[in-house]
Amino acid sequence: MAVARAGGLAGAAVTTELSPPTLGRRILALEHSLGVTLFDRHRTGYDLTIAGCELFERSGTLEQGAIAIERWRTVIDPRPVVTIAAGSWTSSFISQHIQKILPTKTPARIELVTGAGFLDISRRETNLGIRNKRPHQTGLACRKIGQVNFAIYGAPAYVGVNRQATTKDRYKACEWVTLSSQAGRMPSLFWLEQHMPCSARITCSSSHAVLDAVVAGAGLCILPCFIGDHCCGLVRVSDAIDELTSSRWLVSHVDDRHFRPQRLIADRLAKLFAGI
């Protein structure tokens, strides 16, 4: 309708804020899907064909409905929503630094979905996903934003009493707190099971319960360093565990990566994690 009113792509680009090439591709796709020619192309512009005139007349009601829906949406809340799906530790880290992520010039709302490893970005179930493996599905844009290191931590009081916590004897001499298998087969849990001669003293169904128990002095645990190194109630008792080091990827739908609010938040997320 914009192209028909403007008589060409250049004029329609002004009203739609889309580029002439984009408009041209969409007009061509519409014609192919309908199986009819809607415009006669000339060097001076676009003229409606008979079929185009008929479709234009029938599109008025559709346009008014779209305008009504847009007005309704604006009344509810005009701010766009950007959904971020991440694991529990990453979500916690984002929450702690949320002011560094919120756009200052572009109003937007953030929906942070925790433990959402199965949200399908290709189906737009989330706008942004932070993953420890690069997905290989088509239609996704992937951006490496650093790596995640893991190490072993304990409460200062527990480590002070259990000196073996700082040695390789820690696996048999110290108590351990881990995630339960119901929480998922985390690489860190699998790695620890290969080193411990017996089961952990305490298992928890959530990551934060593990952290709370270790801070309370219940034993040792494995944590991502960006969490453990900044927890005042813990001390690190090992070097980074090389076998658990992984890359961190910021993933989005390839068609949505230029959506301004999403792009601004993605850039700020990348900057935040690059500084860890």
Which superfamily is assigned to 150-244 in CATH?
Answer: Periplasmic binding protein-like II (3.40.190.10)
Q: Identify the three-state secondary structure at position 113.
A: strand
For residue 117, pLDDT beyond 70: no
Query: Mean pLDDT of all residues in the chain?
Result: 89
**Best CA proximity match to 174, nearest among 159, 186, 193:** 159
Which superfamily is assigned to 81-147+246-274 in CATH?
Answer: Periplasmic binding protein-like II (3.40.190.10)
- Asked whether the beta carbons of 154 and 231 are under 8 A apart, the reply is no
| pLDDT of the residue at 251 | 94
Percent of the chain surpassing pLDDT 70: 97
Average pLDDT for 143-170: 95
Question: Which 8-state DSSP code applies to residue 45?
Answer: E
Q: Kindly report the number of other CB atoms within 10 A of residue 226's CB atom.
A: 18
Same-fold call for 81-147+246-274 versus 150-244: yes
| pLDDT of the residue at 249 | 95
Please indicate whether residue 77 or residue 8 has the higher confidence score (pLDDT).
8
Residue identified by tokens 């090389």 is 242
Distance CA 257, CA 251 (A): 9
Q: Any idea where the domains of the chain sit in the sequence?
A: 2-76, 81-147+246-274, 150-244
pLDDT in tens, 174-214: 999 998 876 566 889 899 989 998 889 899 988 899 999 99
| pLDDT of the residue at 14 | 85
**Best CA proximity match to 244, nearest among 171, 190, 177, 170:** 190
Distance CA 232, CA 12 (A): 58
Helix (H) or strand (E) holding 66: helix 60-76
| 118: confidence class by pLDDT, cuts 50, 70, 90 | low
- Asked whether the beta carbons of 234 and 228 are under 8 A apart, the reply is yes
Q: What is the CATH number of domain 2-76?
A: 1.10.10.10
| pLDDT of the residue at 182 | 65
Distance CA 11, CA 20 (A): 9
Question: Which 8-state DSSP code applies to residue 240?
Answer: -
pLDDT in tens, 35-82: 999 999 998 899 999 999 999 999 988 988 988 887 787 777 777 889
Q: Which own/partner contact pairs does 71-77 have at CB distance under 8 Å and 24+ positions apart?
A: 77/109
pLDDT in tens, 78-91: 778 899 999 889 99
Q: What phi and psi, each to the nearest 5 degrees, are found at residue 250?
A: -100, 120
Instruction: Name the most confidently modeled range: 99-113, 210-224, 258-272.
Output: 210-224
For residue 115, pLDDT beyond 80: no
Sign of CA dihedral 123, 91, 110, 271: negative
